[in-house]
Amino acid sequence: MFDKKALVEYGKKLVNAGLTKGTGGNLSLFDHEQGLMAITPSGIDFFEIQEDDIVIMDKEGKVVEGTRTPSSEWEMHLRTYLARPEMNAVIHAHTMYATVLACLRQPLPATHYMVAVAGKDVQVADYATYGTHELAVNAVRAMEGRKAVLLANHGILAGANDLLNAFNIIEEVEYCSKVYCIAKAMGEPVVLDDAEMTGMLERFKTYGQRTARD
């Protein structure tokens, strides 16, 4: 039912791509028809996680399969899926530059057109302690109308139709965050206007959706 191997492999890919470290972050898949979520376990290094360590939960947050403790951020993942029926995969990571913006509690504006993979910009969710109901609610609210959100003093969350595209959003938002931070250090970046980003969002309905062949 769930591609547990993909969850394991994309966890390693996050680390190899320099998008997170150690056990920082979590990944999940959701079956909207059955109301079930597969999520990585809590506190296990991404290079040590096995397929049997993946935890299956129902939409009430109960573990229905697996012996491991699910990620402490399981509710943030689950609430994202319940609010966003178009999303089947969610990734949370502690990327460097997106987290810098999150610590400044500063949203990522459209200073680079690739921000459009996530939306016209990326907002910052109000701060709440990790793993709490409050953080889950704040994240879902701030990600409305977008595919990614910065978590204040924490990291980034992104969702898409599959893990490939969720990973791509994390990767591109991190790139755009790096560009923005460096540009801010040198001067005042020029932000693309709403009309341009509206056009980009339309273009990205196809361009921004990657497939395994890309």
Q: Which domains does the chain have, with CATH numbers?
A: 4-207 (3.40.225.10)
- State residue 22's pLDDT score: 82
Q: Which two tokens stand for residue 105?
A: 């509690």
Q: How far, in whole angstroms, is CA 108 from its chain's centroid? A: 14
Burial class, 169, CB count within 10 angstroms (exposed 0-12 / middle 13-18 / buried 19+): buried
Pairing state between β 124-125 and 148-151? parallel
**Is the predicted pLDDT of residue 195 greater than 70, yes or no?**
yes
Asked if 172 is an active-site residue, the reply is no
Kindly report, residue by residue over 102-126, the tens digit of the pLDDT. Answer: 999 999 999 999 999 999 999 999 9
Counting runs of H as helices and runs of E as strands, what totals does the chain give? Answer: 6, 8
Buried-state track 141-165, b at ≥16 Cβ within 10 A, e below 16: ebbeebbbbbbbebbbbbbbebbbb
Give CA–CA dist 45/131, Å, rounded: 18
Kindly report, residue by residue over 85-96, the tens digit of the pLDDT. Answer: 999 999 999 999
Instruction: Give the closest residue to 22 by CA, choosing from 40, 48, 4.
Output: 48
Q: Phi-psi category of 130—alpha, beta or left, where left has phi over 0 and alpha has psi -120 to 50? A: beta
State the DSSP code for 132.
S
Give CA–CA dist 20/73, Å, rounded: 15
Average pLDDT score over residue span 97-101: 98
Give CA–CA dist 135/32, Å, rounded: 22
- State residue 135's pLDDT score: 98
pTM of this prediction exceeds 0.85: yes
> Of 9, 65, 73, 202, which residue is the catalytic one?
73
| Cα–Cα distances in angstroms (integers) from residue 21 to residues 3, 6, 54, in the given order | 23, 19, 19
Give CA–CA dist 49/14, Å, rounded: 13
**Is the predicted pLDDT of residue 214 greater than 60, yes or no?**
no
Q: Which two tokens stand for residue 102?
A: 């999150």
Give CA–CA dist 84/42, Å, rounded: 24
pLDDT, greater one: 211 or 206: 206
Average pLDDT score over residue span 67-84: 98
Q: Which two tokens stand for residue 205?
A: 């309905």
Q: Which two tokens stand for residue 52?
A: 């049997």
